[in-house]
Amino acid sequence: MARVLYPHDFLDDTPYRRVVDIVVAGADAAQRALLADGAAALDEAGDGRFVERGEKERLAAVEALQDRPFFEVVRAGTARHLYDDRSLWPRFGYEGASFHLGGYIERGYDDIDWIADEELEADR
């Protein structure tokens, strides 16, 4: 489910598994029950096990549960722990904090290569 919510083709399953481990390890008994029930609901929301289905079928199963507390626990935990993993920052193109280096303005913040230079100049 973590990969369905935050898909990155350049990541293998390892960071997503790490996120799940962190979320489960930080859960109390009630939250663990919520997670177990939610995982079972993912399997029940289609044919066969959730992890063995195709991309569209997994997405449909996740969308079917988006109003449940389980969805929010997994969504928030994945966002927090996936993007807070410093070992992944370079893969996302994030170099880390720059305050101690004077900020981003003079460090490539405006190096946008997908917008034509003329458009950038027109906006200034």
Q: Give 3's Cβ-side CA count (13 Å radius).
A: 17
Tally the domains of the chain: 1
7 assigned to some structural domain:
yes
Are 64 and 45 a contacting pair, CB within 8 Å?
yes
Give the range of the structural domain holding residue 55, as residue numbers without chain letter: 2-95
Q: What is the mean pLDDT of the chain?
A: 89
- Answer yes or no: is 123 within a domain: no
Is residue 87 included in any domain, yes or no?
yes
In a domain, 110, yes or no: no
Distance CA 12, CA 9 (A): 7
In-domain check, residue 124: no
Q: Which residues of the chain fall below pLDDT 50?
A: none
* Residue 117 lies inside a defined structural domain of this protein: no
Residue 20 is assigned to a structural domain of this protein: yes
pLDDT at 124: 63
Residue 72 domain-assigned?
yes
